[in-house]
Every structure is written in structure tokens, then in C-alpha cells.
Amino acid sequence: MSPLRNRIFRSLWIAVLASNVGTWMQTVGAQWLVVREPDAATWVSLVQVATMTPVLLLALPSGALADELDRRLLLLGVQVGLFATGAALAVLTWLDLMPPGLLLFFTFLLGVGQALTLPTWQAVIPEVVARDELPAASALGAVNTNLARSAGPAVAGLIVAQVGSAAVFGLNALSYAVFAVALLRWRRPRKTGPSHPERFGPAVHAGEHYVRYSPVVTRLLARVVLFVLPGSVVWGLLPLVAHQELGLGASGYGILLAALGVGAIIGALLMPRIRRGLSPGKLIVIAGLIYGAALIVVAVVSSTAAVIVALVAAGLAWMTLVSRMNATLQLFLPNWVRARGFGIYQVVFAGSQAVGALIWGQVTEATSLRTTFLTAAALMLAGTATVRLLPVYEQDGADRSPAIFWAEPHIMLQPHLDEGPVLVTAVYRVDEPNVDAFVAAMETVRGTRLRTGASRWGLFRDGEQPDKFTEIYQIPTWEEHLRQHQGRLTGSDEQAEEKAVALARGPAEVTHLLPAEPGD
């Protein structure tokens, strides 16, 4: 837990804890406000959809903003907006002017704030802790989330039962103010980078391109979908389990959510031992089996005590798997694209929760809660069985630090930054005994080119000169190519290129081909 010795991280961590507690209190207050409405299953699931849909729509664009703007100022501005929105929601609810449709609108607005906050905060963590502390910091992030998940619902259930949802909404608004104050106290060092700010559209595209050509990330995202989609049935429909199946009130619902949080906290405390003792593949299997069994218990057992025990187990499984995926992603992503990468992660995570909540709500309307939970359990177990097809490997030894090892391009023409497309050719001379190894090494180089901006790539062998190999790749604009020179490449990319060059007779001869007729 060494990151907590860092004053900046400790201050921000406590502030995020306050914000997360407020968010869970908000969720309980909103869901309980509609639990007695006609078509309650639909309304309750729509609260979850309204919370997660903004993340689905905006997490990647907000990641692009966070990679280009001052992350501290971005977070600060968002918290001020969230405070104003939360205060308005509290006042209107207190005045009894909050019909379900308007509640969903305010929930959506608060979700927009979360969409802007989540990838930015995840990208900030590696700025304030050392790289070797990232796994511990990620586990602390999970502890944070699940302390909030434990305390927030329990407290909110009591407040809703005694005072009403308006008080919960007001406390949530205050939690954003706490986060804003912590951000005001943090003096973020000025970061150096490319002199020309990256434009929004190309920045979003570059983030998507990086993830698309990163097999580690794509497999990780697939595992998230296979776990979160069926797992979201708990978060979407637990109010109905409490109200309709177990006959509990608002405080009872808070206890059920607290059980999930307690299990998650236990899992977080066990994470160092789990990380040492279980590979990601084994953890995926164990977490999937535990969560699937918990869903079956919720479906078929009507004892409140048994359901609480099952939810503790589900919370443990949820936290350990999600935290492991989160830490793996933090270690893998280089700084230049970290917020965008986490933005895509949040899109997938929130999309799975939102789509799952909507699907499970409709399945419940058409069948029953029992059928819905059993169906989700079957999907969870089926997804777990795919672990060999979609493995996740940790990349702790990979060097993701920036590496500027390309010489500046020396060209006679002076293209505009938005001129393109640009073709780059690199000619290598390779002796026959090294050909197979060289071609294999260039496959790794292909990944580095595509992740850092190239839209097309190819390796060709000269028919007249068999020892001559030409690498050709296309970049959308001259600006994107300059960014490859100025910080998008990492130490791992440099190692991959050095391996290929070592198999050739000296460095490649590089040329830059510009459009014959530059665009306007």
C-alpha cells in the first residue's frame, strides 16, 4: 500500500473516495425513487442505462481531451459542473418536482461528468506514483471503489428510509466539491511534449488505432465484455431482488449493495497474494465460476442471509478480475495514449453494463427475475470457458517509456501539417540466411507502425535484387508522422526495430513521399 505514503496520491485518493461514495448514494436514491413505478423493472434498469450511456458515448473523446489538455484543470472544471447539476437535482427532488423522465435526464448529465472524469483520473495515477507502484495503486483504486460501494449504499439506504432521496442527492453534490478542493491543492508539474497540440479528431482516431492494433488490449477488452455483460444483471436488477423477492425496504437494499462492497474489499485486501499466486487465466476461471454460482444462488434461494453471502462472493470475484484487468492496462499503455486507451476501456465496460442492464430488464419483463438470473449465470459460465481462446497476458517487462530514436526527417519540401497522405519507405539489405528471421521481426515492427499512426503497412521483396526488402507504410498526414518522431514510439518499439535492423546489412534507407498535388 506504499502509494498512500505519497501525499498527492493520498489526498486525491481520499477525494475520489468521497466522490465515489456520493455516486453510489446517488444510484441508490435514484433507483429507489422509481422502484414503485409501473413497469418498475424497466425504470430501474433505465437508471443504470442513463448512468452508463454517457460513458459509452463520451469516454473516448474525453480521453482524447485528457491526453492533450491539462488533466488537473479538466478534472476541476468537470467537478464544478457536477456540483451544480447535483445541487439542482437535490433541490427539485426536495420540491417534489422530479418525475421519472426528469430523473433520468439528470442521471444522464451526472453520467456525462463521470465519462469525463474516469479516463482522466486513470491517466493521472501514473503521474503521481512510480511505475513499480502501479499495481498497488490500481488495487487501491479498487479498494476505493468498493469502500464506496460498501459504505455508500448502506448509508444511502438509511438516509432514503428516514429522510428521502433529496438528501442523498445533496450529499452527492457535496462530494464533487470535496474532489474539486483536492484538485485545487494539487500543483501538477508542467508536462513537455510536441509543440503543436494534437487536433481533436485525429487524436480520437489515433487512440482507436492504437487499441485496434494492440492484441493485448483487444483480448483484455473482450474478456471485460464476457464478464461484465452477464455480471451487470446484479447492478441493474438488485433493487427488484430486494423489493420483490426478499421483501426488503430501502435500508435492506443498501445492505445488499453493501454486501457486494464488503466482498470487493476482501478481494482488494487479498489482491497482492492473488497476483502472486494466480495467473490472469486462472483468475478469469475462478472469478467466473464464483460469480456464476452467486447468480444461481440469487435466482433460486429466497433466504436473505444466503443472498448476502452470495453477493459477498460476487463482489470479491468482480473486484479481483476488474482490478487485474485495470492494472494490466495501466502497465501496458504508454503515456501519450493512456487516457484514450482508458477511454476505450470505459466505453467497453460501461457499454457492457448499459446494454446488459437494458437486456436483463426486458428479459425480466418478459419472463421472471429467476429466469433472468439463471440466464445470466449460464452466459457467465460460457464466457469463462473461452479463456483459452482469448487469453490475457501481463506485459510487466515491456518498456512503455517514450523513446525518441528516429532522426528528424530532412526534406527539401516543407509540407503543411495537414498535408497527406504520406508514404514512408525504408529499404533494407538482408542476406539469405537471415531472411526468415528478418520477415518475422518485421511483423513486430508492423504493429509498432500501425499503433503509432500508420493506416496501411506492407513489406515487399525486390524481384530483381532478392536481398532488397522495402517496407512501405502510409500515414494520414505529415503531422501524424512527425508525432511518430516526437514521442509516440516507446522503448519496446525501439527494441523491435533494432532486432530487425540487426538482421539486415546496416540501417534502412528512408524516404518520405508526399502528395504530388498538395491539398488546399
Domain definitions of the chain by residue range: 2-188+200-384, 422-513
Looking at residue 520, its pLDDT comes to 47
- CATH architecture under which domain 422-513 falls: 2-Layer Sandwich (3.30)
| 130 vs 491: CA distance, rounded Å | 17
Instruction: Give the pLDDT confidence of 400-458 residue by residue, as tens digits.
Output: 777 888 887 878 888 888 888 999 999 999 999 999 999 999 999 999 999 998 999 99
Higher pLDDT, 301 or 3: 301
357-377 per-position pLDDT tens digit: 889 988 998 999 999 999 999
Per the listing, cell 530532412 goes with 410
Q: Give the residue with greater pLDDT, 128 vs 153.
A: 128
User: Looking up cell 450511456, which residue turns up?
Assistant: 53
Share of the chain above pLDDT 70, in %: 91
C-alpha cell at 238: 438488485
Higher pLDDT, 54 or 59: 54
pLDDT band (50, 70, 90) for residue 98: confident
**Is pLDDT at 192 greater than 60 in this prediction?**
no
Between these two residues, 112 and 35, which has the higher pLDDT value? Answer: 112
pLDDT at 233 over 80: yes
Pick the CATH number of 2-188+200-384 from 1.20.1250.20, 3.20.20.70, 1.10.3720.10, 3.50.50.60: 1.20.1250.20
Give residues with Cβ within 8 angstroms of 194, minimum separation 6: 482, 483, 486, 487
Lowest mean pLDDT among 10-14, 62-66, 85-89, 440-444: 62-66
Are residues 155 and 172 in contact, defined by beta-carbon separation less than 8 angstroms? Answer: no
Please provide the average confidence, as pLDDT, over all residues in the chain: 83
For 479-515, what is each residue's pLDDT tens digit? 889 888 887 888 888 899 999 999 999 889 999 999 9
**Would you say how long the chain is, in residues?**
520
Return the pLDDT at 407. 80
